[in-house]
Amino acid sequence: MKLNRALKYLDLNKSSYCYQSRPRSEDKRLFPLDVEMEKALKEMTGYELTLGYGKATPYLRWKHERIWNHKKVYRHMSIMKMLQPGPSNVSGLKIGGCV
């Protein structure tokens, strides 16, 4: 029996049948921290420490005159344990919406 007929009988695509998974490296998505951004984040003091990554991104761009991506700022702040806790849903009230 030909492969195409057998796959049609099994209702299976040829690409699914021939698929070979590649071994995934654990370090594929891990990049070292940007030394310059790490230094800039460590320099933050006082009120600046209360900023979340959304407000910290334009602040860092302004203060250090560098263009840093908000996703990169989030990743660095997350690794450095500088992220603020998100809003909490106190006693079932909706935050920012109609009740």
Look at residue 74 in the predicted model and tell me its pLDDT. Answer: 92
Which comes out higher in pLDDT, residue 86 or 97? 86
Mean pLDDT of the chain: 82
Q: Are 77 and 83 in contact (CB under 8 A)?
A: yes
Residue 95, pLDDT above cutoff 60: no
Closest to 53 (Cα-Cα) out of 29, 31, 84: 84
pLDDT of 58 over the 90 cut: yes
pLDDT at 22 over 80: no
Report pLDDT for 90: 57
Confidence of residue 59 (pLDDT cuts 50, 70, 90): very high
How many Å apart are CA 46 and CA 6, to the nearest integer?
Answer: 69
CA angle (70, 50, 92) in 5-degree steps = 95
Q: Please give the full DSSP string across the chain, using - where no structure is assigned.
A: --HHHHHHHHT--HHHHS--PPPPPTTSS--PPPHHHHHHHHT--GGGGG--HHHHHHHHHHHH-----HHHHHHHHHHTT-PPPPPP-GGGPPSSS--
Predicted confidence at residue 40, as pLDDT, reads 92
